[in-house]
Structure 1
Amino acid sequence: MEEISAFRRQLETHRPADWETLPDFPLYMDQVLSYMERQTIRLDESDALTASMVNNYTKNALVPRAEGKKYNRDHLAYLTFVCILKQVMSVRDMDLLIRTELSDDRSVENGYRAFLESLDGALSSTVQEMGAYEGTDNLADAAVHFGLLSYAAGLVSRQYVAQLRARTEPAGKPDKAEAKKAAKSRKERKD
């Protein structure tokens, strides 16, 4: 059970960097990949961010295009959002949430701060829930419990996304032009 205790401690203490501590100088792709390893909690190498993934996220307008071949603080914020949420939602849903969270006058900085606050609350409540299983060897009961919490939270998340989509995309599926326009808007707001 030492592995579970160590994992619980990691969930208690590991958080992505605050906005102020994100690098305020441009990074090349290999530096971004290395930095992002510290931003998320990974269970194994299959969760690692790759250059191909970053390129796909950029192509799908989830992350703004690099400036030359360099990535800045905004890029790291977007990538943190995507790397964490890709575990539980589709690219289409993440795109909608990014476009909504950073719409109007909300800056990337403020959106990132709000994201970190929600993440901290989610991790903290999960750590608290883990306390009920501390000292027990019944791994199956604990796994089922957290699987069901994930199921319930996923249902709620999908319902909120569906309501948001109904408000923002009443005609149905968004077109590629709208996604590109949103990406351009994010880039202009950053500049």
Structure 2
Amino acid sequence: MDELHALQEVLRGQRPVEWDQLPDIPLYMDQVLSYMDRQSIRVDESDALTSAMVNNYTKSGLVPRAEGKKYGREHLAYLTAICALKQVMSARDMALIIGKETEGSHSVEEMYQRFRTSLDQALEHAAGEMDPYLDEEKLADGAVHFALLSYAAGVASRRYVNVLRSLEPESKRKK
């Protein structure tokens, strides 16, 4: 199954760049979208980030407003995290956890590095879990296995988000 071996290699090797490798020059929207294609693993075109999505993330407060029409390193860090998280959680939940990750003395750089570490561990784990399911007769078993891993991780993630939300002051919870 060449497709699955190729995916396994992508999971083992493709990562968002380190903070200091993010462009340190401002980028226009079309450059941001092109750059983000290299920052995340996409299965198909429906996973692509669009300018409308960036605008919606900005309007909802998930991403800071562009400086003029240019986006910097911090914008790219936020968008990299959002591109992965949008696959599994709502914008409201992303706003909560990204807000918690960057509140107080925590910088966007620190949030980005923690995100990259967690993503690296998750991708390595998924790639390693693929080995028993690479034969044609194991495809259905593999699909079920990964669906159930996703289900279990989703249950855990939703619980963490609920606990975080319950710890917020009442005034913030109603938003």
1:182 maps to none
Q: CA deviation at 1:174?
A: 3.8
Asked if 1:67 corresponds to 2:67, the answer is yes
Asked if 1:166 corresponds to 2:166, the answer is yes
- 2:167 partner SS: helix
Asked if 1:100 corresponds to 2:100, the answer is yes
Amino acid at match of 2:161: V
Q: TM-score, normalised by structure 1?
A: 0.89
Match runs of 1:1-191 below 5 Å: 1-170=1-170, 173-175=173-175
Distance across 1 between alignment mates of 2:43 and 2:134: 20
Q: TM-score, normalised by structure 2?
A: 0.97
Deviations 1:102-145 (A, max 9, x none): 00001111110000000000001111111122335321110001
**Structure 2 gap segments, 5+ residues each:** none
Q: CA deviation at 1:168?
A: 1.3
Q: CA deviation at 1:172?
A: 6.8
**Structure 1 gap segments, 5+ residues each:** 176-191
Deviations 1:63-84 (A, max 9, x none): 0000000000000000011110
Aligned-CA RMSD value: 1.1
Amino acid at match of 1:116: R
Q: CA deviation at 1:171?
A: 5.1
Identical positions, percent: 58
